[in-house]
Amino acid sequence: MSDRVYAIVSMYDHAELLPHFLSHYTNLGVHRILVAIRTNQRNDMFERAEQEARHFPASIYWRPTEKFADSEKSEVEQSILQENNVQPDDYVMHLDLDEFQEYPVPLAEIVKLMNARDDWALRGWILDRVAANGELLAIMPSPSIGEQFPIGCELTKILLRAWTQKIMLCRGRVQLQGGVRHDTCNAYYDDIPIGQSEQYIVHHFKWINGLVPRLQERMEKAAIGPAYANECRRFIDYWNKHGRIDLTDPSLCSRWLGSLPYPTITGKET
pLDDT at 179 over 90: no
pLDDT for the residue 104: 97
pLDDT at 262 over 50: yes
Average pLDDT of span 186-203: 95
pLDDT band at 270 (very low <50, low <70, confident <90, very high): very low
pLDDT band at 216 (very low <50, low <70, confident <90, very high): confident
pLDDT for the residue 70: 60
Q: How many percent of the chain have pLDDT more than 70? A: 94
pLDDT for the residue 88: 96
pLDDT at 200 over 90: yes
Indicate if the alpha-carbon torsion angle 18, 196, 186, 118 is positive or negative: positive
pLDDT for the residue 230: 85
pLDDT at 29 over 60: yes
As a whole number of angstroms, the distance between CA 229 and CA 132 comes to 27
pLDDT at 12 over 50: yes
pLDDT at 96 over 80: yes
pLDDT at 47 over 70: yes
Q: How many percent of the chain have pLDDT more than 90? A: 75
Least confident of 40-49, 79-88, 121-130: 40-49
Indicate if the alpha-carbon torsion angle 152, 158, 159, 162 is positive or negative: positive
Most confident of 75-79, 210-214, 255-259: 255-259
User: What dotted CATH number matches 5-256?
Assistant: 3.90.550
Residues 6+ apart with CB under 8 A from 217: none
pLDDT band at 269 (very low <50, low <70, confident <90, very high): very low
pLDDT at 71 over 90: no
pLDDT at 223 over 80: no
